[in-house]
Structure 1
Amino acid sequence: MRLYNHTIRPSCSRNKVTTLIKIVAYTSQTCPYCGQRKKAKDQTYQCTCGYTAHRDRVGAINIMRQPVADGNSLSA
């Protein structure tokens, strides 16, 4: 957060670029299908509901689905 406040934020402000902060805790441990939290073994996330994917993909899906400041999602 320090890097953001001292370097990234002022630079974006000068160049009129909007920045968003998202909390990414547990995104690769939460099933995007059923919402159950479970740690991935190795690189593959396997949920008890049957959903299976690479843990980075699981995290990316969950981050994409998070609401932004205005309550809307970034996904199209």
Structure 2
Amino acid sequence: MNKSASELNPNDVIKVGDNWFRCRYFYYHDNNVSIDLQRERDQLSPYYDSTCIKISINKDVGIKFEVKQ
């Protein structure tokens, strides 16, 4: 399944390059969305932030992410 950045939810696992990452936090500002990603194997936790990548995407760009079911 493919989703745009605005359709993603926390805990979705998306493919970036050749690797899979779990969506952690979303930040919306102006016409951009920033997403904190962590390794797929790390479970979400309010007590431990394992963010390893942060990406920012303009909402007008039609990027779709492959999402694991």
* TM-score under structure 1 length normalisation: 0.30
Going by fraction, where is helix more abundant, 1 or 2?
A: 1
Please identify the structure whose Cα radius of gyration is greater. 1
